[in-house]
Amino acid sequence: MKKTILMFAAVGAMLFTGCKDNASDKVKAENVEASAERDAKETVYPEITFEETEFDFGNIAKGTPVEHVFKFTNTGDAPLVITNASSSCGCTVPTYPKNETIAPGDSGEMLVKFNGAGNGQVTKTVTVSANTEAGKEQIKIKAFVEADENAS
């Protein structure tokens, strides 16, 4: 019982002594402006804009390797960093600018290779991970893979 009373007394003492000053009087206007400016900068993102988000190779023979270069521009207000590019299957291999920072207004290229696997109409997706607001962007390649005439 004595411990409980002592604990309540200690908490009460802290409350009464800690609330003497008005906290809003301690806030400095220049600190508020600096933190608002800092927070505004944190909401600025790069934006990756591809010249085309889909490319059609047309008709290709089965097993014929093809490739296409997707050109892009950083149309945002912060430096762009591509951290990864992965395809929907192993038959498609993207190559992206690794360890590069693309400044606002600058351009870059991403090479996508397709080995001609599959039959008929084929669509493959490449997911690009970057420091954009969305975090991920997608580009696609398409082809009509014609059957091998020598296969029976």
**In Å, how far from its chain's centre is CA 43?**
14
Counting DSSP H helices and E strands in the chain, the numbers are: 2, 8
In the predicted model, residues of the chain with pLDDT beneath 50 are: 152
Looking only at Cα atoms, what is the longest distance across the chain?
95
Cβ atoms of residues 128 and 138 within 8 Å: yes
Cβ atoms of residues 142 and 123 within 8 Å: yes
pLDDT at 40: 63
* Helices (H), ranges, the chain: 2-18, 29-42
80-119 pLDDT tens trace: 999 999 998 899 999 999 989 999 999 999 999 999 998 9
Provide the terminal-to-terminal Cα distance of the chain, rounded to the nearest Å. 92
The answer to whether the predicted template modeling score (pTM) of the entire model surpasses 0.85 is: no
pLDDT at 41: 61
pLDDT at 16: 66
Cβ atoms of residues 65 and 115 within 8 Å: yes
pLDDT at 20: 58
pLDDT at 152: 47
pLDDT at 6: 78
